[in-house]
Homo-oligomer: A and B are copies of this chain.
């Protein structure tokens, strides 16, 4: 099992080029707002809400509207370039690192932590196959309380 590590940063940096490339290849115009939003997503090591992405984007161009952020994130989600989460059953949060299928949510603080696990991954693929499904995506959320000591 591998807990979130620094290596992820490199992975994310590599992703931006991939993100922009895929957007362009998909026929999307590379506009100012869009470029900024992609950059914000690349730099996000967390799971920002739409409003958070908007706030961060406005630091680069204060005229960017939240409607554009919503529209852009929906497009990226449709293209599977971003993963949407609803950790708190309240509003959407996004992540760009698509390797993060597993999350632990601290029920006390709401803090979200990623982890990976190869055995789990193997089980999931085996199960999907057994059920007759071609796996498109999967999410595992552990809700727990941090133990002291």
Q: Which residues of B contact A145 (CB under 8 A)?
A: 133-134, 136
Most B CB within 10 A of own CB, among A3, A139, A144, A146: A144
In Å, the complex CA distance between A140 and B115 comes to 14
With an 8 Å Cβ cutoff, the count of chain A residues facing the other chain is 37
A127 interface neighbour in B86, B117, B132, B136, Cβ under 8 Å = B117
In the complex, are the beta carbons of A136 and B107 less than 8 A apart?
Answer: yes
Given the known A-B contacts A119-B123, A123-B119, are A131 and B3 also in contact in the complex, defined by CB atoms under 8 Å? yes
Q: Which residues in B have their C-beta under 8 angstroms from that of A124? A: 120, 140, 142
Is A135's CB under 8 angstroms from B144's CB? yes
Please give the distance in Å from A77's CB to the nearest CB on chain B: 9
> Does B120 contact A132, Cβ atoms closer than 8 Å?
no
Choose among B113, B115, B128, B141 the residue that contacts A104 (Cβ–Cβ < 8 A).
Answer: B128
With contacts A86-B86, A89-B92, A142-B138 known, is A147 near B133, CB below 8 A? yes
Which residues of B are found within 8 Å of A138, using beta-carbon distances? 140-143
Provide the residues of chain B in CB contact with A146, threshold 8 Å. Answer: 132-134
User: A residues touching B (Cβ–Cβ < 8 Å)?
Assistant: 1, 3, 84, 86, 89, 92, 102, 104, 106-107, 113, 115, 117, 119-120, 123-124, 127-128, 130-147
